[in-house]
Amino acid sequence: MSLISACRLCGGTDLPVILSLGETPLANSLLTEERLQQPEPRFALDVAFCPGCSLVQITETVPPETLFRDYAYFSSFSDTMLRHAREIAEGLIERRKLGPESLVVEIASNDGYLLRNFVEAGVPVLGIEPARNIAKVAEERGVRTLAEFFGADLATGLAAEGQQADVILANNVMAHVPDINGVVAGIKALLKPDGVFVMETPYVKDLVDHLEFDTIYHEHLLYYSLTALENLYQRHGLAAVDVEWVPIHGGTLRVSVTHAGREGDRPAVRKLLDEEAGWGVGTRAFYDGFADRVENLRTELWGLLAGLKGQGKRIAAYGASAKGSTLLNYVGIGRETLDFVVDRSTVKQGKYTPGTHLPIHAPEQLLSESPDYVLLLTWNFAQEILEQQSEYRQRGGRFILPLPEPKIV
C-alpha cells in the first residue's frame, strides 16, 4: 500500500479529502474457513478531489499484483452483463463494419463474456486479462487472451507485431488503473489511425447524487467525469468523439475516443462538458456535504436493520460483491445482524466475506432457510435479482434496497 502525494492524472498536489470510509479489508479478498482466524489486513479508504483536472480518486494504492492476479469476479454470472455485452458487440460490428480482417482488443477482458460475441461473428479478438485464473477460463471458451497487465510497453510490442486494433474496449477497468497515463499511452500506440477506443466507467455525478459510496473500494482508484477524461485524452493526442449515459451499474458513461484531429463536431461531448461546468465539476463545492449524507445513510440503514432484528426477524444478504464489502464494513453489519450471504457465483460459494466473515451460499439457500428479509448488496442488478427470486418473494420474503435511501420492496 502506498499513499499518493500527487494526482494520478495531472500531478497536482492539492488533493482535499471529500470522504473517509475508515479502514476496510480488500473488497474481493474472500476468505476460506482456514483463514478466518488469521489477521486480516485493513487499509484506509479516503477519497480526494483534484481541482486541477477534476479527477476524483482514492488516496491509497494497493499494488495491482495483489488485487488482480487471482480474482473472484466473473462477469458471466450476471444475465444483465451478458445482455449488455451482446448489445455492445452487435452495435460495434454494424457501425464499424467489422469482419475477418478486423481486430478487437479488450483491456481487462475477464472471462471473455464480451469478446466471445465478436468471436461468434467471425471477428478476430485479443483479450488482455491480468487475472490468470480468469484468463484461463476465457481461453477455454475460445477467446484468445493474454494474461498480462495492459500498458504502454505491452501495447507498443503488439503494435510492432502488426496487431494494431480497429476497436479497443475497456469496460469497468479505467477506474482500476494506478498508471492511467501509461494505459492511455498504450491505447494511443495500439489503436489504428482510423480506429476507435470505447470505454465504459461509472459516472462520478451519479456516485454523489445517489450516494453510491459502496462503489468506492481499493480496486476503484479513480472516479471520472467527462471533464476529467477530456483532460486525460488531450494529454495523449486523443479526443472523445461521442458520449452517452447508460443506466448499468447505477449510472455509467460510455465514451468513444479517436486519435486527435478525427473528432469532428462532437455535439454530445460539448453538451455534457457544458453541463458539468454548470454543476461545478471543477470545484470542491459540488462535493460539500457528500460525507455528511453518507453518514446519515449509514445511521438510517443501521437503524432499520436493528429494528427488524429487535422484532425477531431473520435477515440475509444477496451478493458477495465488492460494493457489498464496502457497505457492510462501513456501516458495521456483520454476523450479529445477517445470517448469511447468497451469490450466484460458484467461485464465491463456500467462502466468507471480507471483514464481516459471513458465509456465502448459493441463492437456493433463500428458499431452504426462508429469512424474512434480504439486504440486496448488488443493487445495480436489482431488477434481474428480484425476477430470479420471485418464488422467495411469493413466499413472503422481502428485499431491502440500501441506496440512495433504505427501502423495503
pLDDT digits 0-9 by tens, 95-154: 999 999 999 999 999 999 999 999 999 999 999 999 899 999 999 999 999 999 999 999
Per-residue pLDDT at 263: 80
107, 168 Cβ separation under 8 angstroms: yes
Q: Residue 92 and residue 107: Cα distance in Å, rounded?
A: 16
Domains of the chain by start residue, with CATH: 2-58 (no CATH), 68-287 (3.40.50.150), 305-408 (3.40.50.720)
Partners of 57 in the β-ladder: 48, 222
Question: What residue has cell string 486527435?
Answer: 260
145-146 and 125-128 beta bridge pairing: parallel
Kindly state the cell numbers that stand for 246. 447508460
Kindly state the cell numbers that stand for 267. 455535439
Residues (pLDDT < 70) of the chain are 1, 64-77
pLDDT digits 0-9 by tens, 247-267: 988 899 999 999 999 888 899
Answer whether 0.75 is exceeded by the pTM: yes
Per-residue pLDDT at 21: 97
Per-residue pLDDT at 354: 96
236, 181 Cβ separation under 8 angstroms: yes
